[in-house]
Amino acid sequence: MYPSDIFSRLYSDHQGALIYPKDEEAPSEISDILQTNIFNVMLSRRSQRSFDEKQVEDWKLEMIFAAADTAPTAGGFQGFDIFHVKKEDVKQKLVQACNGQPYVNAPVVIVFCMDPSRVRMNFTADLITKFSIQDATLAAGYSQLAAHALSLSTVWIGMIDEKKVMDALGTDLIPSSILCIGYPKKILQPKPKRSLKELIHEI
């Protein structure tokens, strides 16, 4: 089964019964999750650097990956790849590749990498690379919001040594960001943002 198909698989066998997950009883809250108000998710999200040791359920991970798969991309070519890091030794290498930030060793660590070779458009290499950066960033953003909608917390890691991350993953794809996910030790309240009058410039 592919993550991109998860949303359709959440629904039915023509009798309205939930059929996801296939190998276990579907969580009772899954219908409510699908009806989550996106504005509530955005307003209440907060970066979390202290995670509980509780493991994230596989079905939640699949929904996060499915959300990444729905992100808009240049030409629909999806110029990015995702690395789900499970090995402890690789996580430790990523900690060092991220300026020693210890929370990179989270229950779930996902690395979003650019893959400009997937963007088959007739533009210059520089522009194709820019598209790929945007594709990977949008996918990470969608994943972050999906994780929060699933009662998880995240922290976005942008301070990375690209070469060290590539060596840790064993890839020649350049990383754009790392998303660390887990259950929070405590719920954090959102920080105040700029007023819209300050943020928006009409010209």
CATH number of residue 119's parent domain: 3.40.109.10
In a domain, 98, yes or no: yes
Averaged pLDDT for residues 46-60 = 87
Q: Cα torsion at 125, 130, 136, 142 (round to 10°)?
A: -150
In a domain, 60, yes or no: yes
Domain extent at residue 67: 37-189
Q: pLDDT digits over 124-180, tens only?
A: 999 999 999 999 999 999 999 999 999 899 999 999 999 999 999 999 999 999 999
User: CA-to-CA distance for 30 and 50, rounded, in angstroms?
Assistant: 26
Instruction: Give the residue among 156, 173, 152, 147 at the shortest CA–CA distance from 68.
Output: 147
With bands split at pLDDT 50, 70 and 90, how would you rate the model's confidence at 12? Answer: very low
Quote the pLDDT of residue 142: 96
Tally of structural domains, the chain: 1
Which residues are paired to 80 by β-bridges? 114
pTM for the whole thing?
A: 0.83
User: CA-to-CA distance for 155 and 15, rounded, in angstroms?
Assistant: 40
Quote the pLDDT of residue 18: 44
Averaged pLDDT for residues 69-89 = 96
